[in-house]
Amino acid sequence: MNDNKQSRSVIKVLDIFIESVNFIVISYLLLNVMYAFKTNVLWVLFFATNVWLVQKYWHILRSALGKRILCFSIIAASLLVLAGVFLIFGYFSRGLLRGNPLSVIMPQ
């Protein structure tokens, strides 16, 4: 019985980790697209998609964890990681996409 509970806990932690990584990656890509369309009406669509993504992530965490304080903590940590990724890599400009993709990691 204890082994079954332990394996469920490991699966829950792994599921939350995978959902968090997906949230960070998709949010990063949405932020790039939002920046690219900042003067276009389509920006509203991407902003609404970003709001939907945060809501879905909250719902997944809430159903998996049940405690609001843990959900807030994980969302805050994910947003901090997202901010760090955005500060390290910035946004994708057209020049970056045409050039060497490793220039972000290893500038010359």
**Structural contact between residues 23 and 78, judged by C-beta atoms closer than 8 angstroms:** yes
Question: For the segment 29-41, what is each residue's pLDDT rounded down to a tens digit?
Answer: 999 888 888 888 8
**What pLDDT shows up at residue 95?**
47
Determine the pLDDT at residue 8. Answer: 83
Between CA 27 and CA 30 the distance in angstroms is 5
Write out residues in the chain with pLDDT < 50, as ranges. 95-97, 102, 104-106
pTM of the model: 0.77
Residue listed under structure tokens 């079954």: 4
**DSSP state at residue 67:** -
Residue 20 has which token pair? 């968090």
* C-alpha to C-alpha distance for 60 and 62, rounded to whole angstroms: 5
> Each residue of 47-56: pLDDT tens digit?
999 999 999 9
Alpha helices in the chain (DSSP H): 2-36, 42-65, 68-89, 94-98
In whole angstroms, what is the distance from residue 26 CA to residue 31 CA?
A: 9
Q: Which two tokens mark 47?
A: 């902003």
